[in-house]
Structure 1
């Protein structure tokens, strides 16, 4: 893990944008047309509210965190020629297969199927959704249980195959890797052991021109523990859980995460990162 015996942690106090939990109905629906939000179609929007939190730097303590206990893990893993991420064939033929192999090794999965990948930077309009490449500055998870099962149905439309897959443990894993050392807009993840999903999750159905997804927004709780890895390097990917079929009865396992502002680096060059989302069948 490249842990250090002597390291001064850079814990950061910063504002994170949470969802405001509504008393009457804690669900919301947002529609998008051509990738942009259409206000006239909104049934109800999650109200945002900022809270100042401490984001804890776990540099030097990486091995204390695991997928099963905390919902995330940082690993040392070299990936050759990351500068070629704009080459879609190279991504599909080299980067994705090597990333899937990494996930199989750490989860014990016998099969992995990538269904989405995206390079993030500050190159596009923050109002965009599916095509947006800007860092997401709001606390969210990529799926709820409902959204994950719908995505499984989309990726595996054959009913018999899907039923067979669901007899085992089905995970959705997000692998987030810097393309350059992270300074501006690092990513923070919430230690899953500090999340009360039934009290804090706000399901949000997003309607897109080609389908829908249900993502999770999260309400703030002072018991939440937010973590990041300072000066995260391209060979230090973050792996975190966005669905675990074995935890459905407990309300899910969908780790909240968000980009955040580190005041020391707010004027630095835009952050560049690659995220790869996949099903892992254990």
Structure 2
């Protein structure tokens, strides 16, 4: 069924004509005149279309996102242990992405757990172990940040790897289900006007990243999967070096609040892995 809700988008301010959007993960609270961010957002009404029953109709190549079905592995409790995730689950993530894409090599560079906790606003840091869902339309990388990530993380192999096709793909899955509130919404790449994707600096203590913020456009087409369960996984393309016509280059995404919720439901809990994906053959 369609869901009528809202998603937060970057405000189309003239400020960004002279100043690049940014957000710092380094606290500047005690520095006079310093700004943590210059991001301003607006919540816009959005119709989010349900792909339930049409799960196989959307692909990474054409739409920038794809749903895959895998037997659920691990419990919500298991995923509280980062060492268990890295030892037991990360190898499964790599194999899932290889099978879905035909890639020969997948390297995970981080993961994020999210949980909607009572008393925390969406987009907040939540607890030490999990952040809250992000209600803002965005893409986790630009092509430039993808290339810099490979150069930074892959050492002496980077130059060789970048001679072939490279992607950044995120794997997103619930840790419990079905999801009733704050599901993930994904935007069909073919409906995106690239003038609405605005490069945004993300500043961390150990590196400077770059993501895309998104300005709202009525032509954008948004999708979600109703009652998503832990055996239903989103693959999101966040960067693509194949710039040929017709190839999806990215997937804008964000979470949204459902209306008419049941009286009792399990708050959303999810995990997202960010990976570098290499084609076709690379040094072993």
Q: Shorter-chain TM-score: what band? A: 0.7 to 0.9
In structure 2, list runs of 5 or more residues that go unmatched: 280-284
Decide which of 186, 190, 193 is 1:193's aligned counterpart: 190
Is 1:73–2:69 an aligned residue pair?
no
In structure 1, list runs of 5 or more residues that go unmatched: 1-9
RMSD: 2.8
Query: SS of the residue aligned with 1:247?
Result: coil
Query: SS of the residue aligned with 1:146?
Result: helix
The answer (yes or no) to whether the contact 2:64–2:248 under 8 Å persists in 1 is no
Query: SS of the residue aligned with 2:151?
Result: helix
Aligned to 1:134: 132
TM-score when scaled to structure 1? 0.87
Decide which of 197, 212, 216 is 1:216's aligned counterpart: 212
The answer (yes or no) to whether the contact 1:190–1:224 under 8 Å persists in 2 is yes
Deviations 1:38-67 (A, max 9, x none): 894338613211210100001001111111
1:1-282 map, 5 Å? 10-23=1-14, 24-25=17-18, 27-34=20-27, 40-42=33-35, 45-83=38-76, 84-123=78-117, 126-128=123-125, 133-158=131-156, 161-181=157-177, 182-197=179-194, 199-247=195-243, 253-265=249-261, 268-282=265-279
Structure with the bigger percentage of helix: 1
Alignment partners' CA distance in 2, 1:251 and 1:101: 23
The answer (yes or no) to whether the contact 1:37–1:128 under 8 Å persists in 2 is no
Alignment partners' CA distance in 1, 2:31 and 2:102: 42
Alignment partners' CA distance in 2, 1:188 and 1:77: 20
Alignment partners' CA distance in 2, 1:37 and 1:245: 41
Count the aligned residue pairs: 270
Alignment partners' CA distance in 1, 2:227 and 2:212: 28
Give the direction of change, closer, same or farther, for the CA distance of 1:78–1:246 in structure 2 (3 Å limit): same
TM-score when scaled to structure 2? 0.86
